[in-house]
Amino acid sequence: MKGCQPLFSGTRRSPSVFRSAMSFFSSCAAALAVASPATALSWEQPRGVQQYGTFFGLPGQNATYDYVVVGGGTAGLTVASRLAENRSLSVAVVEPGTFSEISNGNNSQVPAYSYSSVSGDGEYVNPWIDWELNTVPQPQLQGNTLLYAQGKGLGGSSIRNQMIYQRGSRGSYDYWAAQVGDDSYRWDNMRQFFDKSVHVTAHNNSLRVANASVTDYAVTASLQTGGPLQVSWSNFAMPFSSWGLKALFAAGMPRLSNFFSDGNLHGAAYNPSTIDPKYQTRSSSESSFLQQAIESGSSLTVYPMTQAMEILFDDDKRATGVRVQSVGRNYTLSVEKEVILSAGVMHSPQLLMVSGVGPRKTLEENGIQVVADRPGVGQNMHDSCNAGGVTFPVSVISTAIRQRDAEYEARAEEQFNTNGTGILTNTGGDVLSFEKLPEAYRSQLSNGTRERLAEWPDDWPETEYVLSSSGSTLEGASATEQNYVDIGILLVGALSRGNLTIQSGSMHDKPVISTNWLLDEADQEVAVQSYRRIREFWSHVNITTGPEESPRTNVSTDADLLDFIKGAVSPIHHATSTCMMGRVNETMAVVDSMARVFGVKGLRVIDSSSFRFTPPGHTQAATYAHAEKLAEDIKRSLSGE
């Protein structure tokens, strides 16, 4: 199967899929039809906007709310739903996309199909759920232009990521707190907000083969009774993963038993994912936070398929609302309290600049009136990158079997539909490992690079190794008769910084993005030594059926490896900090530690763009915790704390 998968006949779909779809269709009908007073449920929405049995806002009608959240993504739906728990507050969410259950079908629900959503291959791009953003040509990457996937729809990137749930290191959050001058970001203080979002269900080893059991993972009571986001393990382990773990351990990698949740990342283990254990389907901010808000009858109003065009300010530089556009209609959503910008790492800084908050020179060049000269808007982009990996043919199955064996795929669909088991419950990569380069490899780094890496906290790993059974490093592998797997490299201690800017004063024009991966020579050195480390891992794997397929053993010098890496780099979609958090006296800081934008009033940025940096690893858990913490900050400020 390739591209968008058709819905299976008789597909098992979680109730949230039906709730979302039925709510969407019935709400659209209510919004577009002339409802009869005798048959419609109607009530007065905040400040006079009337709706008919729906939580959707009406396109084209001005309205006023206490809070308007721009962006219904991972952070946006989290903060909006938490604020709406207070029934005395009116909260609106503006989202350019819609429900992924409708716009992307099983590709957004079935874990095995998640790879198509994060692939750098434009053939897989679905514009209903993706912004189709590309970087400018990257000279340090052989001039390549790279597709950078960004979620579009209710749930944002949580509807199209690879669902990995993993928290950063203790030291990284203590470092964040020190950088912004606010101890509330220390690990011991942030942990409650990680726990608050999730409902963790222990692994079901009875459905996994014996040598792929998830062992020694203690799921505490607080995690089992936490928030609406479902976190669990797949009911199927990729066969290579157990062999790969043995190789990692044989090469000196410690075994982790904390499922990456206690602030220690150094080691390897089966990773948990945002999978609903009951159905083995994706759990996103839409299926968790939004559905919970809807079912509880909270004060939340959603404007789907609605683009925020401009944040509006009064003469006192206070945000008064947002000019939006949907179904060809322009109208204004005003606020009594604050605008909360949660449009994501690429679009939050773009909307700030379009609205007059950003580098003065950029704004004036695009004919935009300057509201606040903030040179850091769009700068400081911090992102891990996928530096490729080392691929071998193996004697166990990979996901390639689904492309070439129709009978196997049919059985897999039947297993998934019948009882939520089989290969379709697995994303194709279910083992993570992190480390600082061992001394044998670290000693090959230049003195300057070792000094630069020492700037990170002691527990911050430089590299992450991902065991992937998708054969993604080898182009065309899925079409062959062989099973290919790879051990991939993510540079989680990256020192390079990217940026973005605008090409006009319109949100309809895409931002101009330069990720600058490998621009810092220290990142290049780490990537080369990481490849050598991976080859050591492979020397302990005894299920290979042929020689190294990629990059091949003749690619052996530092120069040859670096040249290969430059052509292999692709996004892992962990960019942050384009509206960087910092202190008031930092020129490049955009928001303070409560996410309030410097230079204006009544405006916050709550999403990964307001991170101080990208914590080591995958950003999904960090984004939920960030939103939980800042939502709590707002609620406390309302109560006078």
Based on the domain organization, do 526 and 410 belong to the same domain?
A: yes
Based on the domain organization, do 118 and 50 belong to the same domain?
A: yes
State residue 630's pLDDT score: 99
State residue 20's pLDDT score: 40
C-alpha 275/C-alpha 422 separation (Å) is: 14
Residue 13 within a domain: no
State residue 260's pLDDT score: 82
pLDDT of residue 428 exceeding 60, the answer is yes
Helix (H), strand (E), coil (C) string for 41-78? CEEECHHHCEEECCCECCCCCCEEEEEEEECCCHHHHH
Average pLDDT, the chain: 88
Cβ neighbours, 10 Å, residue 130: 22
- Over range 427-446, report the average pLDDT: 95
Please indicate whether residue 574 is annotated as part of the active site. yes
**What letter would DSSP give residue 391?**
E
Which range of residues forms the domain containing residue 274? 204-282+385-493+518-568
Q: For the whole model, what pTM was predicted?
A: 0.91
Check which CATH number belongs to the domain holding 292 and give it: 3.50.50.60
N- to C-terminal Cα separation, the chain: 54
Query: Backbone phi, then psi, for 230, in 5-degree steps?
Result: -85, 130
Active site residue: 203, 382, 573, 574, which one? 574
Please indicate whether residue 618 is annotated as part of the active site. yes
CB 278 within 8 A of CB 14: yes
pLDDT of residue 15 exceeding 80, the answer is no
Rounded to 10°, the helix 239-250/521-538 angle is: 100
CB 585 within 8 A of CB 600: no
Higher pLDDT, 581 or 399: 581
State residue 202's pLDDT score: 82
Residue 404 within a domain: yes
Active site residue: 199, 382, 618, 626, which one? 618
170 is written with which tokens?
């203790």
- Over range 542-567, report the average pLDDT: 96
Higher pLDDT, 43 or 184: 184
Based on the domain organization, do 230 and 336 belong to the same domain?
A: no
- Over range 339-344, report the average pLDDT: 99
Task: Calculate ∠ Cα 151-154-156, nearest 5°.
Answer: 25
Are β-strands 133-134 and 91-94 bridged in parallel, bridged antiparallel, or unpaired?
unpaired
Give the position of tokens 């099983």: 106
pLDDT in tens, 344-392: 999 999 999 999 999 999 999 999 999 999 999 999 999 999 999 999 9
- Name the least confident of 54-58, 436-440, 472-476: 472-476
Residue 639 within a domain: no
Residue 275 parent element (H or E): strand 275-276
37 is written with which tokens?
């007073």
pLDDT in tens, 152-202: 999 999 999 999 999 999 999 999 999 999 999 999 999 999 999 999 988
Residue 448 within a domain: yes
Closest CA to 151 of 28, 286, 16, 309: 286
Query: Backbone phi, then psi, for 382, in 5-degree steps?
Result: -115, 125
Q: What is the band of 25 on the pLDDT scale with cuts at 50, 70, 90?
A: very low
Structural domain count of the chain: 2
C-alpha 52/C-alpha 139 separation (Å) is: 54
State residue 399's pLDDT score: 83
pLDDT in tens, 91-121: 999 999 999 999 999 999 999 998 766 666 6
- Max Cα-Cα span within the chain: 79
Based on the domain organization, do 504 and 532 belong to the same domain?
A: no
- Over range 410-419, report the average pLDDT: 94
